[in-house]
Structure 1
Amino acid sequence: MCIDPVLQHVKDKRNVILFGIESHVCILQTALDLLENNINVHVVVDGTSSRTQESRKYAFKQMKQAGAVLTTSESVILGLLDGADHPKFREVQKLILQSAPVTDLCKL
């Protein structure tokens, strides 16, 4: 799924964060392509969907076996801040602490 312009854009990157729709097709193939190009892949499980939960489950299983890191949006957001000393940490923390709707997207 990684066409040449995309690969050119990420060629100097060590890590890529993936989220979106069709985890069993688009996200899976993109993850595999990036991993093949020695790029670390982090898949946001609560930001990635498929038509069925079964498709999601097996896509995540394949990605994990291939070497992708399965993570959550909260982990990604806090990781990007790189610590509580970030000037926006408290502002972001307030957003995270707000109750989110139950989506069952973290069920694997």
Structure 2
Amino acid sequence: MLNCHNTGLIVIDIQGKLATLMEEGEQYIAQCRALIAGAKQLDLPIIWLEQNPEKLGSTHPNILSLLDGIKPITKFTFDACREPSFLAAIAKENKPNWLICGIEAHICVYQTAASLLQNNYQVHLVNDCIAARKGENKQLAVNKLQHLGARITGLEMALFELVKDCRDERFKGILNLIK
């Protein structure tokens, strides 16, 4: 089970115009914002990736505003595990469980998550925080990753699993994120 001591968050390529082209784009961005804000409230490590930002643009401004103080890792391969600085960041955090949000589900999310699984990390796809331009591509990625051993969760499920107790001082802040 996820807890705040064994879990981190990976934010994959929520960038530029592409971020706005995702199915249910505005709702998708809002869900990712809530996840990132929740991870920050719970003091989870956050690893932030950008795919070829010179071509795709920087991270969406509504997401970027939450990542203040975190340096993005630039990558050019779809699989972030092929980027040594990403692997170093993952190893430095020493967390077995990684929540994943980002785009596109069937490309960068899929390849990164599959490699993390091969490297013996537990991958928890936050289903309402991953997206593709077409719903069938997202579903294909989820199906393949689940077959490889990824666990599927949702924004609310993950945050409440992490906070555990309504008496936790962080509970109200988490609750306000999902209302």
TM-score w.r.t. length of structure 2: 0.51
1:21, distance to aligned residue in structure 2 (A): 1.1
After TM superposition, the structure 1 = structure 2 runs for residues 1-108 of structure 1, keeping only pairs within 5 Å, are 1=79, 2=81, 3-11=83-91, 12-96=94-178, 98=179
Distance, in Å, in 2 between the alignment partners of 1:26 and 1:83 is 34
Count residues in correspondence: 97
**Tell me, which stretches of 5 or more residues in structure 1 are unaligned?**
99-108
Distance, in Å, in 1 between the alignment partners of 2:173 and 2:98 is 24
Other structure's SS at 1:83 match: coil
Distance, in Å, in 2 between the alignment partners of 1:83 and 1:39 is 26
**Tell me, which stretches of 5 or more residues in structure 2 are unaligned?**
1-78
Q: Could you report, residue by residue, the CA deviation over 1:22-67 in whole angstroms, capped at 9, with x for unpaired residues?
A: 0000100010110011000000110111010110111000010000
Determine the structure 1 residue equivalent to 2:46: none
The residue identity in structure 1 corresponding to 2:139 is K
The residue identity in structure 2 corresponding to 1:6 is F
Distance, in Å, in 2 between the alignment partners of 1:81 and 1:48 is 22
1:14, distance to aligned residue in structure 2 (A): 0.3
What is the identity percentage for the equivalent residue pairs of Structure 1 and Structure 2? Answer: 32
Detail structure 1 runs of 4+ shifted over 4 Å in the superposition. Answer: none
1:84, distance to aligned residue in structure 2 (A): 2.0
Q: Could you report, residue by residue, the CA deviation over 1:44-95 in whole angstroms, capped at 9, with x for unpaired residues?
A: 1101110101101110000100000111011111122132231021232244
1:8, distance to aligned residue in structure 2 (A): 1.5
* RMSD, aligned CA: 1.3
The residue identity in structure 1 corresponding to 2:126 is V
